[in-house]
Amino acid sequence: MESIRVISRQIKTEALRLGFADCGFSRAEALPKDAERLKRWLQQGNHARMGYMANHFEKRTDPTLLVDGAQSVISLLYNYYTDKRQSDPEAPVLSKYAHGKDYHFVLKQKMNLLFDFIKKQNPEAEGRIFVDSAPVLDRAWARRAGLGWIGKNSNLISRSAGSFVFIGEIILNMELEYTPIPESDFCGNCTRCIEACPTEAILDNRTLDAEKCISYQTIENKGDISQELSGKLANRVFGCDICQDVCPWNRNALQHLEPDFQPAPGLMEMSAEQWVDLEREKYTQLFKQSPVKRAGFDKLKGTLAFIQK
């Protein structure tokens, strides 16, 4: 078998060829410090009504319980940044990640190609691909792989790609060349993300109070949006990019090159009035394979009504 270093370089080279912004490797093992952080966050109730965050706690913090014989975690970043803006400045705002096709489909397809490449080079390779499809601490693994650090807004920040990146993992039964030293923290004294958040959702320990987070309220919260947030959602209808938009590390973010992330025809040109009058048939047409389907039509209409108050 070829050397671990050669195999690792081959995998990273292929990942970059497939369009990933970065690729790194870390040893598959339990994460006691991250487990303690997660436990504290859950105990403080900062996960709001996302009860699933407490499920499978041991698996969430130890990948060896997810994949038999796991030795390595391959972390992958995929850029989704775009400077495209909706034509009507009064229109309800969609998060950048929701302009085009659901990233789960896009990343899984590319990660399957990478996994096929690994198996072709190393027939003994076995493993699993994860894109939000199981309890995996994406940001923790990306940090351990040297791909960035956890910013004050709780997002992973890459020096080369910023924070507008999706994260995926391949947990593998092969030993690879691991990053000896994680990336340093380059947030410094900057607090722009904390100051910019209109609902004060960002906590001082690099975590979020989900109950106050616009992304949670407009996507994950299947109930009514808290009246305490009335007038504070900054016209966001699905997701929120405010804390990322103000981050200095995104000043030089590059446009994504993914055709599947292009908006559906007419989406970016919708007026505020067209959004308010949105009917189910048009919703289905616009968001057929979109992340927006996670919220559903009724939730989207409820959010539209809430931000129009």
Per-residue CA distances from 81 to 48, 216, 257, 268, 292 (Å): 28, 20, 9, 15, 17
- Strands (E) across the chain are located at 22-27, 72-79, 93-94, 127-130, 149-150, 156-157, 165-172, 236-238
200: Cβ–Cβ under 8 A, 6 or more apart, which residues? 212
Of the listed 132, 260, 277, 298, which one is catalytic? Answer: 132
Query: DSSP for 24-75?
Result: EEEE----HHHHHHHHHHHHTTTTTT-GGGGTTHHHHT-GGGTSTT--EEEE
Residue of 307, 306, 268 lying closest to 286 (CA atoms): 268
Q: How far apart are CA 240 and CA 58, in angstroms?
A: 30
Would you say how long the chain is, in residues? Answer: 309
DSSP 8-state class, residue 21: S
222: Cβ–Cβ under 8 A, 6 or more apart, which residues? 49, 299
Structure tokens at 145: 């792989």
Structure tokens at 131: 């894109």
Per-residue CA distances from 157 to 22, 128, 166, 214, 240 (Å): 12, 25, 11, 20, 16
> Which residue type is seen at 134?
A
Indicate if 132 belongs to the active site. Answer: yes
The residues annotated with a catalytic role in the active site are 132
